[in-house]
Structure 1
Amino acid sequence: MGKYRQYPPITILVHFIVWTLYASVTLLVYASSSSHPKIVIYETIETFFICAAIFYTNSDFFLPVFFEKKEYVKYTICIIISFLVHLGIRYLFAYYIDPFVMGSPSTVVDMNFTSFTIISTWWWFQATLFSFGYWFSKVSIKREQEVSMVRDEMTIKETEQLKLRQEKLELENAFLRTQINPHFLFNTLGYFYNKVSDTHPDVAEGIVALTNIMRSSISKKTHDGLVSLEEEVENIEYLISIYRMRYNNKVYILFNKAGEYNLRIMPHILITLVENAFKHGDLHDPANPLIICLDIQDKDINFHIHNKKRFGPKEISSGVGLQYVAKHLELMYPGNYHFNIDNKEYLYTVNLHLKTN
């Protein structure tokens, strides 16, 4: 823990294969839908090389050297420098190196600086989050092995089993909070807000919404690990506003709510389902809008999401969202929930009935 370790050859080979497959899928999707496939192929390969550098710098250096030692100030400084260097490199390649190498303009030359910055930030943000997940997985595996050794030496009583379950749940919640809302980004988002608040108020509004989601996610939870339903609903509304701004309000989303919000629930359950619909749904068809319904009756929560599927290029996803929901519903509400997914050819529907008592 906290020490840099070199990768053995077999691990390097596995990492190379995973990155190659990961980049190939994205490359095939984007190149097949572009009028300039050669340019897209070149820029996609370039982007994944840059993302890989960000990924391993964070997972194998910044996190073990600074974050694990609780040197959060140094870690924050390193992450901010990483972002600025990444932005500078992408700008240098897009506007100077790529046109020279390819003999034709880059696909981003027609973008304004704000759009270019948002896209570059999105790629950096994904690479940084994925590196968090990779680092956390290695730490979790080691801790799990240590717990297994203890279990082999003694008989665990029922109370001890419940305690281990709760500790594991808290660790995974901490991991999700790190994914959604890393603390080091607050200063960076504040800097962006100050930069664009006068010239681009719509972007500033999106930054405020994202900051509110992050602040809610990182805040210390009560002893029962629950949050108010009202807070979860507010975060969903913030997330919707971000997507509306991202697509210039050319998305069709209906969020219907009924009942009182004076309940407490497991955090991130509802917003994870909404985020999954954003990632995989077609939000641009007015005849088939994304429908989100929340109905509270006494202490029962009925949550319904219905969307048209998106075909073609999709946002990069880690694929853990629905697994997180299903696993934590079983841990927190055994026998008190019904979670159903209706996955048709063109339509996708999720229904969750939850008894909070």
Structure 2
Amino acid sequence: MNKRLLGYLHIGYWVLVFMQVLMVALGTGVLGTHFDWHLFLSIVLPVKALQIACSALFFYVNYLLLVPYFLKRGNIVKYILSLLGCLFAFSPLYYLMEQIVYPLIGWKSYNLDLDFFFAFIVTLGANFLNIFLGLLLSYLMDWRNIRAEKEVAEKEQLKTELAFLKSQVNPHYLFNTINDIYSLTQQQSEEAPAALLKLSELLRYMLRESDDPYVPLINEIDYLNNVIDLQKIGQKGQSYINFKVVGKIDQQKIAPLILINFIENAFKHGVFKDSEAPIQILIAIDVQAFHLHIRNKVNTHKKDRTGGIGLVNVQRRLALIYPNRHTLLIDQQTDTFIVDLKIDLYD
């Protein structure tokens, strides 16, 4: 809530209080049985305006000064004493209004002379509700500010953590791909230019488009296609990967680089040179749901002591980006590794 809107709310509140006081005054018959515009404008309106002005002044002295400087600092005794002092300070104002100002405009609130003690009681009665409202509003605004600051801090922490997790995308694949393309150029292979172009597209996506919190799903799938194609090129045609996309890709969006760890994990720990047991990658899409299913044969001859970090990162990212909107099943059998991921693309 910005300061301008908050100011409008304060003004609106006192306007409503003023209207309510006027209606109460008219309802009690201060103008007699017949409405008199001259009497209303010359007496009732200025009298009630002065009363509301005094109430507003007392409210803001308590709300802006006494509560923040004494009560919120733990000085309860000082707050009570300062509140009593404020009531005593305002009592002469109410006394002057009742004894001098109001009679000048033909108004008399009480049928007896007002002494100072009675003026104090009138001041307390007129501002008792304002004391409570000042306390309530002050602590409500503190609660609102603390909540807003907490939300900002959580968002910043989330952004920082997501940025860190995205930066952990395994760079080994890129280094291996560069080495593969270098070998192709050394051999003057016709596949070298195409491989270099795919690597360029892959890097452009990682460094530029992936800065957005969500990207078009078609871009993420194109990125995976490039990754798979480069894997096949690097293995000189000895990489057996079945990549299939089922369903209509329309305007769906997905968090960038959220799938690559599963693909890299299949390449890193799976068997991709067995034509009888190729790596199976299936993506099924509908309007609101995304489904990724990966099945690969486990390469029992590969031992990677640093493995598993990528999957931990992507699980954390999924929990941050799609809380209660995804299911991830990882089934590691003796000779088969299965990943099954489902994401609700819309709230």
TM-score, structure 2 normalization: 0.50
**2:203 paired with 1:211:** no
Amino acid at match of 2:217: L
Aligned residue among 301, 318, 334 for 2:323: 334
Percent identical residues: 23
**Alignment-mate amino acid for residue 235 of structure 2:** Y
Partner of 1:231: 219
Contact 1:202 1:245 in 2 (8 A): yes
Out of 163, 166, 171, which is 1:171 matched to? Answer: 163
Please give the root-mean-square deviation of Cα atoms over the aligned residues, in Å.
Answer: 3.3
**Distance in 2 (alpha carbons) for counterparts of 1:284 and 1:322:** 23
CA distance in 2, matches of 1:340, 1:259: 22
Amino acid at match of 2:223: N
Aligned to 2:301: 312
Give a deviation string over 1:307-345, Cα, whole Å, max 9, x none.
100021357855321011100110011000000001100
Q: Secondary structure at the match of 1:310?
A: coil
Query: Which residue of 1 is the match for residue 261 of structure 2?
Result: 272
> In the alignment, is residue 354 of structure 1 matched against residue 340 of structure 2?
no
Residue 221 and residue 269 in structure 1: after superposition, are their counterparts in 2 closer, same or farther (change >3 A)? closer
- Once residues 302 and 170 of structure 2 are traced to their aligned partners in structure 1, the CA distance between those partners, rounded to angstroms, is 27
SS at match of 2:302: coil
In 2, Cα distance between the equivalents of 1:295 and 1:204?
Answer: 32
Q: Deviations over 1:192-232 (max 9, x none)?
A: 78x93992222332222222111100005565x11221111
Q: Post-superposition shift, 1:295?
A: 0.3
Secondary structure of 2:323's match? coil
Judged with a 3 Å threshold, the aligned counterparts in structure 2 of structure 1 residues 263 and 155 are, in CA distance, closer, same or farther, namely: closer
Alignment match of 1:297 (pick from 278, 286, 291): 286
Other structure's SS at 1:352 match: strand
Deviation at 1:178, TM superposition (A): 9.0
| Other-structure match for 1:241 | 229
Q: Which runs of 4+ in 1 moved over 6 A?
A: none
Measure, in 2, the Cα distance between the counterparts of 1:180 and 1:311. 20
Give the distance between the partners of 2:316 and 2:239, measured in 1 at CA: 31
**CA separation of 1:231/1:341 partners in 2, compared to 1, >3 Å: closer, same or farther?**
same
Shift, 1:353, TM fit: 0.5
Q: Is the 8 A contact 2:165 2:317 kept in 1?
A: no
Unmatched runs of 5 consecutive residues or more in structure 2 = 1-145
Q: Name the counterpart of 2:110.
A: none
Structure 2 CA distance, aligned partners of 1:274 and 1:166?
Answer: 25
Taking a change above 3 Å as real, the CA distance of residues 197 and 260 of structure 1, as seen in their structure-2 partners, is farther
Whole-angstrom CA distance in 2 between matches of 1:179 and 1:214? 11
CA distance in 2, matches of 1:180, 1:296: 30
Q: 1:318 to 1:329 in 2, by over 3 A?
A: same
1:249-278 Cα distance to aligned partner (Å, 9 max, x none): 112111111122221111111122111100
The one-letter code matched in structure 2 to 1:303 is L
C-alpha spacing 1:220/1:233, structure 2 compared with 1 (3 Å):
closer
Is the 2:270–2:297 contact (alpha carbons within 8 Å) kept by the matching residues of 1?
yes
Q: SS at the partner of 1:269?
A: coil
1:169: Cα distance to partner? 3.2
Distance, in Å, in 2 between the alignment partners of 1:256 and 1:174 is: 25
Q: Distance in 2 between matches of 1:332 and 1:287?
A: 37
1:293 CA displacement: 0.4
Give, in whole Å, the separation in 1 of the partners of 2:221 and 2:147: 43
Query: Residue 103 of structure 2 corresponds to which residue in structure 1?
Result: none
Query: Is the CA contact 1:294–1:302 (under 8 Å) kept in the aligned structure 2?
Result: yes
Q: Give deviations 1:67-98, integer Å, cap 9, x for gaps.
A: xxxxxxxxxxxxxxxxxxxxxxxxxxxxxxxx
Partner of 1:69: none
CA distance in 2: counterparts of 1:326 and 1:229, whole angstroms: 19
Task: Tell me the CA shift for residue 174 of structure 1.
Answer: 5.4
The structural deviation recorded for 1:164 is 2.8
Say if 1:239 and 1:251 are closer, same or farther in 2 by CA, change over 3 A: same
Counterparts of 1:249 and 1:316, CA distance in 2 = 28
The whole-number CA distance in structure 1 between the counterparts of 2:220 and 2:306 is: 22
Quick one: structure 1 residues 163 and 180, their matched pair in 2 at CA, closer, same or farther if it must change by over 3 Å? farther
Q: Aligned partner of 2:279: which letter?
A: L
Aligned length: 198
AA aligned opposite 2:163: L
Deviation string 1:106-141 (CA, Å, 9 cap, x unpaired) is xxxxxxxxxxxxxxxxxxxxxxxxxxxxxxxxxxxx
**Structure 1-normalised TM-score?**
0.49
